[in-house]
Amino acid sequence: MDKTVITYGTFDMFHIGHLNLLRRLKAMGDRVIVAVSTDEFNQRKGKKTLIPYDQRAAIVGAIDCVDLVIPEESWEQKLRDVKEHDVDVFAIGNDWQGKFDFLEDLCEVVYLPRTKDISTTDLKRSLKRFLSIPQEDLSKAFEVLELLRRDLE
Ligand code: CTP
């Protein structure tokens, strides 16, 4: 029987940490479902996204290790989703360690190590730093860009 893995997240400014997580999920099962947080839900969480929901969902859905994208609209939906989609494993990054243990009655709950040195928050910070450089000072801007590129290597 197919093993179904589910995860939840915002996936704004899709980056290598997101890709690594999705690849790990596919290695854990046959079918990967990703619940992408809607803009309204993010607003309620006090999270502001740069990329709108439809685009974030389309990007995640285009990744070859993702089988289905559903919207994440509330905290409470996890119990319903796990039952509705016959989920075997709930997996998420360990920044959420222990937060979803209540699902253990229904499925296996796994917290995965995050990829080091990358997050949407870091990318937004880098973008802000880059945009704060005066337009006329292009050579300095390119120096900063080179530093950012090295940060990501
Ligand atoms: N994730 C990860 N490694 C990273 C960043 C994120 O494994 N370096 C995982 C998270 O643990 C989560 C999923 O990717 O399970 C979606 O996380 P999301 O909150 O969308 O990404 P972040 O980069 O953590 O975003 P933010 O900085 O806004 O919290």
Q: Please indicate, yes or no, whether the overall pTM of this predicted structure exceeds 0.85.
A: yes
Residues of the chain with CATH 3.40.50.620: 4-116
- For 50-64, how does the pLDDT look when each residue is reduced to its tens digit (9 = 90+)? 999 999 999 999 999
User: Considering only CA atoms, which residue is closest to atom 16 of ligand 1?
Assistant: 9
- Closest to 141 in 3D by CA, of 151, 132, 133, 152: 133
Q: Tell me the CA distances in angstroms from 5 to 9, 18, 113, one per residue in order.
A: 14, 15, 16
Candidate from 42, 51, 114 with most ligand 1 atoms within 8 A of CB, to mutate: 114
Question: What residues are annotated to the active site?
Answer: 45, 47
CA atoms of 76 and 105, how far apart (whole Å): 15
Model pLDDT for residues 116-142, shown as the tens digit of each residue? 999 999 999 998 887 887 767 767 777
The CATH-assigned architecture of domain 4-116 is: 3-Layer(aba) Sandwich (3.40)
d(CA 89, CA 106): 9
